[in-house]
């Protein structure tokens, strides 16, 4: 399982990524937000297409949960 430090390291390693506060989370974006990290560093939201989200949730239900869109 990825830690908050892993999420930050991976996100900031992607070219053009910036981070900024977004409500009670930290947002990572390149033009648009593609990931947010909760203030408690226990959860992250990643932007997937509906098909990608369904696949990830099916493949690893212990790591991924659907978010309504």
pLDDT given at position 26: 98
φ and ψ at residue 7, rounded to 5 degrees: -60, -50
The whole-chain average pLDDT of the chain stands at 95
- Tell me if 3 sits within 8 A of 33, measured CB to CB: no
pLDDT digits (tens, 9 = 90+) for 27-52: 999 999 999 999 999 999 999 999 99
- Reduce the DSSP state of residue 23 to 3 states and report it: coil
User: Model's pTM, two decimal places?
Assistant: 0.86
User: How far is 27 from 25, CA to CA, in rounded Å?
Assistant: 6
The helix (run of H) or strand (run of E) holding residue 13 is: helix 4-13
Residue 58 buriedness (CB in 10 A; 0-12 / 13-18 / 19+): exposed
């Amino acid at each position: 399982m990825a830690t908050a430090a892993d999420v930050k390291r991976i996100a900031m390693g992607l070219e053009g990524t910036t981070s900024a506060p977004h409500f009670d989370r930290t947002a990572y974006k390149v033009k648009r937000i593609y990931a947010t990290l909760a203030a408690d560093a226990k959860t992250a939201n990643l932007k997937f297409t509906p098909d990608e989200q369904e696949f990830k949730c099916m493949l690893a239900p212990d790591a991924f949960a659907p978010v309504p869109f």
